[in-house]
Amino acid sequence: SDLCRVRVALRIRPKNTDELAQGADFDTCVELQPECKKLKLKKNNWASESYQFDEIFGENSSQKRIYEVVAKPVVEGTGKTYTVGQLGKEDPSERGIMVRALEHILSSMSLETDSVAVSYLQLYLESVQDLLAPEKTNIPIVEDPKTGEVSLPGAAIVEIKDLEHVCQLLQIGETNRHAANTKMNTESSRSHAILIIHLQRSLKIKEETTVSIPSDTEHTLPGDLPLVLKSKLLIVDLAGSERIDKSGSEGHMIEEAKFINLSLSSLGKCINALAENSSHIPTRDSKLTRMLRDSFGGTARTSLVVTIGPSARHHSETSSTVLFGQRAMKVVNTIRLKEEVDYETLYKNVENEVDHLTSEMERQQKLRHREKMQLEKRLKESETFLNDLKMISSVQIENLEKEKHQFEYAVKRLMQELEEKEGRNNVLSEKIVHLETSLNEKK
Question: For residue 287, is pLDDT > 90?
Answer: yes
Comparing 310 with 49, which gets the higher pLDDT?
49
pLDDT band, residue 91 (cuts 50/70/90): low
Torsion sign (Cα): 214, 217, 218, 219:
negative
Whether residue 287 contacts residue 128, with contact meaning beta carbons closer than 8 Å, is answered with: yes
Interval 175-223: pLDDT, tens: 888 654 344 444 556 789 999 999 888 766 555 444 343 444 444 444 5
Whether residue 130 contacts residue 180, with contact meaning beta carbons closer than 8 Å, is answered with: no
* pLDDT score recorded for residue 265: 92
Buried b (16+ CB within 10 A) or exposed e, 276-302: eeeeebebebbbbbbbbbbbbbbbbbb
Rounded-to-10 torsion of CA 148, 151, 152, 156:
170
* pLDDT score recorded for residue 250: 56
Rg (CA), the chain: 51
* pLDDT score recorded for residue 384: 87
Q: Could you state, in order of their start, the residue ranges of all structural domains in the chain?
A: 2-341
* pLDDT score recorded for residue 108: 81
* pLDDT score recorded for residue 214: 41
Range name among 151-160, 296-305, 309-318 with the lowest pLDDT average: 309-318
* pLDDT score recorded for residue 54: 94
pLDDT band, residue 112 (cuts 50/70/90): low
β-bridge partners, 232: 198
Q: Give the CATH number of domain 2-341.
A: 3.40.850.10
Interval 7-59: pLDDT, tens: 999 998 777 777 777 765 666 678 888 889 998 888 777 778 899 999 999 88
Q: Reduced to 3 states, what is the DSSP secondary structure of residue 126?
A: coil
* pLDDT score recorded for residue 113: 66
pLDDT band, residue 122 (cuts 50/70/90): very high
Comparing 188 with 126, which gets the higher pLDDT?
126
Mean pLDDT of the chain: 80
Please report how many Cα atoms fall inside a 13 Å half-sphere around the Cα of residue 82, on the Cβ side.
22
- Chain center to CA of 284: 30
Whether residue 342 contacts residue 226, with contact meaning beta carbons closer than 8 Å, is answered with: yes
Whether residue 120 contacts residue 157, with contact meaning beta carbons closer than 8 Å, is answered with: no
Instruction: Please give the Cα distance from 288 to 125 (Å, whole number).
Output: 11
Helix (H) or strand (E) holding 174: helix 163-176
Instruction: Please give the Cα distance from 304 to 73 (Å, whole number).
Output: 12
End-to-end Cα, the chain, rounded Å: 156
- Chain center to CA of 274: 31
